[in-house]
Amino acid sequence: MSHDMSSRIAGFNVSVFRVPLPAPWVSAAHAITHHEHILVTLTLENGLSGAGWSSTMGNAGIAIAALAQSYLGPMLIGQDVHDHEALWQALWKRSHQPGPGGIAALAVAGFDLALWDLRGKLAELPVRRLIGSAADSLEVYASAVNLHLSEAALVEQTRAFLDAGNRLFKIKVGRPDLEDDLSRIAAVRKVIGSRPLMLDANQRFKPGDALRRVTAYARFDPVWMEEPLAPSDVDGHARLAAVSPTPIALGEEVSTRSSFWRYVSSGAVHYLQPNVLKVGGISEWLKIAHLGNCANLTIAPHGALEASIIVAGAIPGCYPVENIEGGSFLEQGIAQVAAKPERGRVILSEAPGLGVEFDRAALADHAASPGDHVPLPDPAAYYAGK
């Protein structure tokens, strides 16, 4: 193990922010009014600092920050950033008992990203090139959390995405009435023509009705059916995947390598969608992606735009990166980001580290603290009657 003074961790800082969305996001499972961001800064003995982050859709950010602050951060003091894998394993092991996955994985992700940021800065390389550059630019797909929009508003949103240069699209499905879904998909198809369209049900269906739904949607030739069932239902997904006319995509609520392995080994998924933050960071995401590659699956990074761009640029053959309207740090006004989507593509950055510079002054307005009451609204209330 290296004992270079310049790469030893001297201190850490954890802070948590709750940033309101200009308008709510509504899927079949969630109504989201805020993003929460947990920022983790690691400072080396030589004064260099690296920033990582973790994010939630307005839920449990305080708990993640507390786990990071009180239990995980202190473990890193005096450690060498180049022992990254050993540090990741130690963080994971420490948080396994209250985890694994969920809050624990999100807390580990903040440190993992900060370690990568520091390693990139020490090497004066962008992290994607430190990992092993596989692309200089990437395609993104236009995505939105839009189950509550009226059909007219959905069409208008889709047209705006198309006019902005996007070539691939994803919409939410899972209205209680199947005919509503079919009418909305048909309206979107009319706008985008034969361009790729993905459908996302956010775990809405039960095994008894999933096949009927997927079969009905299939006439519109979707690229994939995302999260048709509960994320814990590996067997249900396997049975559905065996007969579904449309490939199955999932992974955004699967947070351990071993859970992904169960999906992959049982043939329950076609497009693997690990979320960099929810699996414990870049280090673990890469392992899950390689696991998917072994089974000849396509890896489609879920959400987490700024982190997904880095990992998708580091391994070959990723599906275009998800660009959720209103979800980027730039749209939220909380960071400068070196690589940003334009006309459906993103040119990857040469900035050392992760290429994300948080705007601490902008974030200060959104500081969150323990004891805050954060109501989580009922999604169905937003689309009733629309």
Site for Mg ion, rule CB under 5 A: 200, 226
Residue 208's identity, in one-letter code, is G
Q: Which is nearer to Mg ion, 120 or 303 (CB)?
A: 303
Least distance from Mg ion to the Cβ atom of residue 226, Å: 5
Q: Which is nearer to Mg ion, 52 or 247 (CB)?
A: 247
Q: Which is nearer to Mg ion, 204 or 366 (CB)?
A: 204
Q: Which is nearer to Mg ion, 226 or 233 (CB)?
A: 226
Say how far apart CA 341 and CA 366 lie, in whole Å: 25
Residue nearest to Mg ion (CB): 200
Pairing, β 248-250 against β 271-272: parallel
Helix 282-294 vs helix 257-265: angle between axes, to the nearest 10 degrees?
10
Is the bond into 98 cis (omega within 30 degrees of 0)?
no
- Is the torsion defined by CA of 250, 23, 305, 18 positive or negative? negative
Q: Which is nearer to Mg ion, 158 or 273 (CB)?
A: 273
Least distance from Mg ion to the Cβ atom of residue 185, Å: 16
Least distance from Mg ion to the Cβ atom of residue 23, Å: 19
**Count of Cβ atoms closer than 10 Å to residue 180 Cβ:** 16
Least distance from Mg ion to the Cβ atom of residue 67, Å: 25
Least distance from Mg ion to the Cβ atom of residue 170, Å: 8
Residue 322 parent element (H or E)? strand 321-324
Least distance from Mg ion to the Cβ atom of residue 322, Å: 8
Classify 296 as helix, strand or coil: coil
Helices (H), 124-206: 127-131, 151-163, 178-192
Count CA atoms within 13 Å of residue 356 on its CB side. 30
Query: What's the first-to-final CA gap in the chain, in angstroms?
Result: 61
- Rounded alpha-carbon distances, angstroms, from residue 120 to 36, 59, 295: 25, 30, 30
Q: Which is nearer to Mg ion, 36 or 226 (CB)?
A: 226
Least distance from Mg ion to the Cβ atom of residue 237, Å: 14
Q: Which is nearer to Mg ion, 29 or 363 (CB)?
A: 29
Q: Which is nearer to Mg ion, 41 or 143 (CB)?
A: 143
Least distance from Mg ion to the Cβ atom of residue 9, Å: 35
Say how far apart CA 68 and CA 22 lie, in whole Å: 29
Least distance from Mg ion to the Cβ atom of residue 329, Å: 19
Least distance from Mg ion to the Cβ atom of residue 201, Å: 8
In the DSSP assignment, the letter for residue 339 is S
Residues 6+ apart with CB under 8 A from 346: 137, 138, 140, 309, 321, 339, 340
Count CA atoms within 13 Å of residue 141 on its CB side. 22
Q: Which is nearer to Mg ion, 112 or 226 (CB)?
A: 226
Nearest Cα neighbor of 69 from 28, 38, 44 is 38
Asked whether the beta carbons of 270 and 286 are under 8 A apart, the reply is no
In the DSSP assignment, the letter for residue 69 is I
Say how far apart CA 250 and CA 183 lie, in whole Å: 24
- What is the side-by-side strand order in the sheet with 31-44? 9-26, 31-44, 49-56
Q: Which is nearer to Mg ion, 144 or 335 (CB)?
A: 144
